[in-house]
Structure 1
Amino acid sequence: MAMATELRSPLVRQHRQGLAAAAAAPLLMLLSVATLSRSSVVVAASSPELVELTLLAGAREKGAVCLDGSPPAYQLQRGFGSGSHSWLVYLEGGAWCNTMESCSKRKMINLGSSHFMKAEEFNAILSNQHPQNPDFYDWNKVFIRYCDGASFAGDAEGEDQDGTKLFFRGLRIWEAVVDELMGKGMGTAKQALLAGCSAGGLATLLHCDNFRARFPQEVSVKCLPDAGFFIDIKDLSGKRFLRSFYDGVVHLQNVRKVLPKDCLAKKDTTECFFAAELIKSISTPTFILNSDYDYWQIQNALAPDGSYLGQSWSGCKADIQNCSSKQIDVLHGFRQKFISELKVAEDKKNWGLFIDSCFAHCQTLHNTTWHSPTSPRLGNKTIAEAVGDWYFGRSQAVKQIDCKYPCNPTC
C-alpha cells in the first residue's frame, strides 16, 4: 500500500517498523500517527524527554493482557504547576485484526505485545513545552499503548494454529489501566480529557461516557477523537470493504459489551461499531477532529487494493495532488458522505468540530499539525487553539468544517 510522507519522530519510526513487520495482514498497515501529503519538519523549542514504559500491575490476574498474554503498558508524564490536577489520557491507534491469522501476526510487533514496546518522546498534544502545547503542556499526560487489535473493546480469547492462545482483552485492558491511573492521582482530577488517534480515536468514542462516569459530576471531562470517524462507505467496486472487515473484528473479538444498547436494539453489531452510530448515544462533550479527505480511509475504505483496475488509483491514493479531475470528483463524494454523517455532532450542544480538507490522517501527535506556524488552520485557528477554545469555553465558534479541496492554503 502506498504511503504518504511521514513525520520523522521516534514515535512514528517505531510504529512504522512494527506495521511493516506485519504487512501481510489485511489493514494492518494503518499509520496510527499523523501523516500529511507534504514533507514536514517537527518544530520544537527543545528536545522532548523520553517517557519510560510502565507495565500494568497484576495484569494476568485481571485477565487484562495483550494478544500474546504479555501485560499491557502505558507511559505517564506527571503534570506540574497549575496542571498538577489535570489529566490527559491518550489512546494509541494502529488498525485492527479481524482473523486469527492477522491477530497472530500482531503478536510479533508492538501492536500485539508489550515485549516490543519502548520508551517514547512526547510531542504535540503530549508535549510538556508551552510553545508546542499551550493549553495542556503542564497536565498529567498518559499514553495508553494499543495491543489488542479491536480499539480497546474486545473480551474473548482464541487459539492460534500452533496451539497457543490469543487474548482479545481490549476492554479489560481499558478498565484495568484506567483503574490503576485513578489510584495514581487521576481520581482527584479537577479536569480530564480522553483523546486518541485513528483506532484509538474510535476507542475514544467507544469509552467516552465510561470515562466521564468515573469522575464526580463537578469535574470537567471531555473527549477528543482524532481521525476516529470511520465511515461505512462503498468502495470503488461497489463493495463495503470496511464494513466487511469490521464484521470480522467485532465477532472475533466480541466487542458487543461496549456498544450502545439503543443501537444494538435496532441495528447489527457491526453497524454499531461505526462512529456515526456511536455519536448518537454519547452524552459527554466531544470534539471531533478529522480530515474530510482522510487519506487512510481513501486508501483502505474507498479505494482498497483490488477495487480498481491496474494502477489507476495508486498515484491518487498516495498523494491527492496526483488525482485526476474525475478522481477528485469521487473524493468530493466521499467528503459529502463524511460531512452528512457528522450532522448529529453538529447539532449537539457543547460539542466541537475541526474538519479540515487536508490529505491527512491523525493530527494531534505532531507539532507541525497540532500547533506550529505551518499547522492547518480553520477560522485562523490551529488545531490546538480550536481544541483549547472548546475545552475551556473561550469561544463559541468551535464547529468548523472546511471547504472543498484544494481551497485551504494551510493544508
Structure 2
Amino acid sequence: MAFWMLLPSSSVGMRRSRLEDPQDLLFYLGAVELQSSVRVMKVKAEVLPNKVAKTLVQDAFSKGAVCLDGSPAAYHYDKGYGDGVNNWVVWLEGGGWCKRVEDCGRRFNYSNGFSNHMDSKSFYGLLSNSTTSNPEFYNWHRIMIRYCDGSSYTGDVELVDKATNQHYRGARIFQAIMEELLAKGMKNAKNAILSGCSAGGLGTMFHCDRFRSLLPSTVRVKCLSDGAYFLLDNDFKTAKILESTYRGVVNLHNSAKMLPPSCTSRMNPTSCFFPQHIQQDIKTPLFILNSAYDSWQIVDTVIPFADRQDFAENCKKNLSKCSPDQQKMLQGFGAEFLSALPKSYSPSQRGMYINSCLMHCQTDHDWSWNSNSDLLNNKTIAKVFGDWFFERDPSREMVKQQDLPQICSPPS
C-alpha cells in the first residue's frame, strides 16, 4: 500500500511525495517535524539573531566530503572574539537516517541530502551569541556542521552508486571540516566542545575521541550529546524499528569502521550504534543531555503507527487526555530509559542532565538551554553543563525521576 504525503520543501513550500512504507517517512522527516514545531515556538519566545552564512567545504570533491547527492558538504561559522577567541564549540546537526538506497534518494530534495538547499542559519542555545541565553559560550568560535549524509557522520564508501549517483561519505565530511577548522585556528584552542543533537548527538559520541585526538593534550576537550540516547529496548515491539534502521545504515554506509573498536570487538556493529553500548568505550569526558521521555523516540519507535495521530493530537499536547494505556506506555519507557543510563563513572568523565520534558533536542533553542522551563536542583541546562565543563561544581549529575512526563514550553 502506498501513502501520499505533503512534505515540506525548502524550494517550493510543499511537495507531494509517494512513500511505500510509512516508517520511511518517520525516519526521513521525523526530526524535521520536531524542529518545525520548535521553530514556531521560537518566534514567540526569542529575538531572532543574525543569520550565519553557509560555508562550502574547500576541495570537497577531491576529499570526498560530499552530501548524498554529491554536492559539497557545508557548515556555518560564527567567529569568536574577546576572551572567547581561543575557544571553540562545534555542533553536529541531526535529522534521522537513511538505511536504503530509496530512503537516501528522497533526501536529494532537501537540505539533509543536497547542500544547494541549505540556507543561512540562525544560531540558538549552545550556539547563541546572546550573553543572556548563552553566557558561557556566546563569544566562542561557534560552528554548525550541516547534516547531509544520513549516517550520523559515519559513512565511508569509496565507490559511487552509478545507478543513483549516491555518495555515502559522512565520515569524510566530518574529517574535512575538522581539517578546515584546525587551519582556521582551532589547532590553537584552549577549550573545545564537540556537540550535536539527535542523529548529530549520536555522531558526537562516535567522533568524540577522534575530536580529542585532533587537538593538543593541553586543550580542555569535552563532548555534549543532546537528544541522542536512543534505546535498544526489548520491552517494546516497535522499538525494533531502530535496530532495523541502524542495521541498514551500517551496511549501506559501511559505518562499522567508524564505531569504537572496543565495542565492535565484543558485539555486532548494529548494537554499537546504540549509546547504552558505546558510552563506556568513550574515553573523552562526555555529557549526556536527554529527556527520560524523549518525544521522538516515544512517537516514532514506541507508539504503534496506527495510534500516533491520536497521541500527537491529544496526549502529547495535554497529558490529562492520555488514555490509561498511553500512560502505562509512557511510564514504561521512562523507566527503561533511566535503567539504560550509565551506572557508575567518574564525575569528571561523565555528566548528565536528564529531565522529564516531553521533547527531543534541547541545545538548539534558547528557552530550553537556559531558562526556567524545567530546572533540576534550581539549575538550567546551561548552568549545569558550564559547571561540569569548567569543573566548578562537584554535583555534575542531574536526573529527574517521575512517573509521567511534563509539557515544557517557552515563556510567553
Question: Shorter-chain-normalised TM-score: which range?
Answer: 0.7 to 0.9
Distance in 1, matches of 2:9 and 2:56, equals 18
Letter in 1 for 2:28: L
Shift of 1:15: 8.2
Contact 2:94 2:196 in 1 (8 A): yes
Indicate yes or no: 2:278 matched with 1:288.
no
SS in 2 for 1:279: helix
Contact 2:358 2:407 in 1 (8 A): no
Distance in 1, matches of 2:229 and 2:335, equals 14
Q: Judging by fraction of residues, say which structure has more helix.
A: 2
Shift of 1:158: 6.8
Distance in 2, matches of 1:148 and 1:401, equals 33
Contact 1:402 1:408 in 2 (8 A): no
Distance in 2, matches of 1:224 and 1:216, equals 19
Instruction: Show CA shifts across 1:162-214 (max 9, x none).
Output: 82310000000000110111000111000000000000000000000000111
Distance in 2, matches of 1:230 and 1:142, equals 24
Q: Aligned-pair RMSD on alpha carbons? A: 2.8
Letter in 1 for 2:353: F
Shift of 1:292: 0.5
Contact 1:37 1:319 in 2 (8 A): no
> For the structure 1 residues 23 and 361, does the alpha-carbon distance in structure 2 shift closer, same or farther, using more than 3 Å as the test?
farther
Instruction: Show CA shifts across 1:314-369 (max 9, x none).
Output: 5466446132233222211111111111124x523311100001101001111111
Shift of 1:386: 1.0
- Aligned residue number for residue 73 of structure 1: 74
Indicate yes or no: 2:373 matched with 1:375.
yes
- Structure 1 residues 284-323: aligned runs within 5 Å: 284-305=284-305, 313=311, 315=313, 318-319=316-317, 321=319, 322-323=321-322
TM-score (norm 1): 0.88
What runs of 5+ residues in structure 1 fail to find an aligned partner? 1-12
Contact 1:36 1:360 in 2 (8 A): no
Q: 1:389 aligns with which of 373, 376, 387?
A: 387
Letter in 2 for 1:67: L
Contact 2:68 2:168 in 1 (8 A): yes
Contact 1:320 1:359 in 2 (8 A): no
- Structure 1 residues 77-92: aligned runs within 5 Å: 77-92=78-93
TM-score (norm 2): 0.88
Contact 1:353 1:401 in 2 (8 A): yes
Shift of 1:244: 1.0
Distance in 2, matches of 1:371 and 1:201, equals 19
Distance in 1, matches of 2:126 and 2:328, equals 34
Distance in 1, matches of 2:345 and 2:336, equals 17
Q: Identity across aligned pairs (percent)?
A: 40
- Aligned residue number for residue 3 of structure 2: none
Shift of 1:375: 2.6
SS in 2 for 1:29: helix
- Structure 1 residues 6-405: aligned runs within 5 Å: 24=19, 25-26=24-25, 27-31=27-31, 43-44=45-46, 47-156=48-157, 163-234=163-234, 236-237=236-237, 240-305=240-305, 313=311, 315=313, 318-319=316-317, 321=319, 322-344=321-343, 346-350=344-348, 351-372=350-371, 374-405=372-403
Shift of 1:234: 4.0
> For the structure 1 residues 271 and 214, does the alpha-carbon distance in structure 2 shift closer, same or farther, using more than 3 Å as the test?
same
